[in-house]
Amino acid sequence: MPLRGIIMSIMGLLQLSFLVRFLSRPALSGFITASALLIILSQVAPMLGLPSWASKGGIVNVVKHHIKYLELLDPATTALSLVAVIFLMNAKILKKVKYLKFIGDFKELVLLALSAIFCNYYNPEVEEEFQIKVVGTMPSGLPSFVPPAAWCSLVARWEELLPGAILVAFVVFLSSFAGAKKFAMKDGYQIRAFNELMALGFANFLGAFCGSVPTQIGLSRMGIAHQAGVRSQLGANILVGVVVCAGVVLFSRYIEHVPMCVLNAIIVNGASHLTEFDQAHELWAYATNERYNWKTRGDMLTWVIGFSCTLYFGAFQGMLSAVFASLIIILYQVVNPDIVQLGFREGDEIDAKRARKWMSVEREGALREPGILVLRLEGPLFYANVERLQEWIEEEELEIQEKEDVNGIVLSASAISFMDTTAVQTLTALAKTCADRGTLFCMANTFGQTGRIAADRLEPILESQLQEFPFLQSQVRQCSSISEKQ
């Protein structure tokens, strides 16, 4: 259907490819790992030689609901599948042998040829029920280039077809980009989402003239190509297309003896290289490290959600769930930023710049400045989290006042990259409220736009407070300074 290609091309022209920026690395890893497992599980039943009616729903459905169907497995098919998988996973050893390097480099082709020869002699010697299922007769030649017969009905029913076409377009793009991004990060190169989207759009549009299925990047095919050493678009697309066309036109009668279980084994071997459980292990190490704050656990949670939802609901729902989880975690982290109370630790008195180091009061050797509340907010300050800052200051101020008077509050802005008008107005009101009760409020270590806003909006308020409340001037002189480098 050309409509999906048109939609993807329009998405590219409208620069909607920015949506993939919400695909975080943990979300992508969880999705790819679960997709690889789904691919592997989908190949297990045919590799056991189970009848199509018995393997409906995959091997998981057979084990859960029809365990007795395993009695129908074919020993010859199972043995050949096992041999094929073992050979593919250990063929790299042959690359180290001079005269066997060819077999290691072209292990898939060698396996297909040898298994086809075996089945050509084995199947005629056994009864039909014990024969290994092969590809069988294939129509030779390429499909004719004929405009879709459904053009007229497409125009008449475009409103009915549009929702499904949009869904297919999103599924094709997200799943394709996820696979491409995985190998881009693995091999250290960049891909442009716009180029991917436009290429998929034109491929789907032109493919409709030949009756093709939705064109996308297959994860299993990518895994096989990467394992085989393909490193360029020429090898992954052009040469593959030429070889497929030549095979269909010239060698279709030779392919009919290729056993299906060997093709399944090749897919399993390729998909096995897509899993990223090592990434999950690394994320778990971050999440359980006591030196890091709670925000590092969000990546592990995103991976688990992407993996679980993809495995249970499917690729599209799993990807959307991972993206949605990433956005929720980011939003929660922004709304609840880390606010740290700072203390100081005396350093080398010879070097004046390093005479006092400011750090979290929870660190060993850090001392709180008497009568001064020094804090640092890590992240942007805007309407969604400024109330959280107010609440934190009030709670800490009340706790300190139980022991001593609070004469000043210093907000270190070294980690505040942005302030909106709501935050400025709130800080202005906070400064006035503090001045009314004889407490000085000021900011330190401002930079960039935050510094310009503080200079234009907050400094005049502080100056007016010093004129209106002369007793605050002495507090300014006694107020702690916070070095920006510290």
pLDDT at 82: 93
Has residue 288 got a pLDDT over 60?
yes
- Structural element, H or E, at residue 440: strand 440-444
Has residue 291 got a pLDDT over 80?
no
Alpha-carbon dihedral sign for residues 322, 324, 330, 333: negative
Has residue 483 got a pLDDT over 50?
no
Has residue 198 got a pLDDT over 50?
yes
Least confident interval from 78-87, 133-142, 444-453, 466-475: 466-475
Torsional class of 445: left (φ above 0), alpha (ψ -120 to 50), beta (otherwise): left
Least confident interval from 27-36, 64-73, 451-460, 461-470: 461-470
> Which residues, 6+ apart, have CB-to-CB distance to 350 below 8 Å?
none
pLDDT at 213: 67
Has residue 83 got a pLDDT over 80?
yes
User: Are the C-beta atoms of 445 and 484 separated by less than 8 Å?
Assistant: yes
- Residues 444-469, mean pLDDT to the nearest whole number: 75
- Report residue 484's pLDDT band, with 50, 70 and 90 as the boundaries: very low
Top mean-pLDDT range of 175-189, 212-226, 262-276? 262-276
pLDDT at 79: 92
Task: Name the residue with higher pLDDT: 88 or 221.
Answer: 88
Domains and CATH numbers, the chain: 2-272 (no CATH), 277-334 (no CATH), 338-478 (3.30.750.24)
**pLDDT tens across 310-335, in order?**
888 887 788 788 888 888 888 888 88
d(CA 277, CA 279) in angstroms, rounded, equals 5
How is residue 128 annotated by DSSP?
G
Give the DSSP per-residue string, 62-99.
HHHH-GGGGGG--HHHHHHHHHHHHHHHHGGGGGGSGG
Least confident interval from 25-34, 56-65, 216-225, 374-383: 216-225
SS3 374: strand
Least confident interval from 79-83, 249-253, 287-291: 249-253
Has residue 236 got a pLDDT over 60?
yes
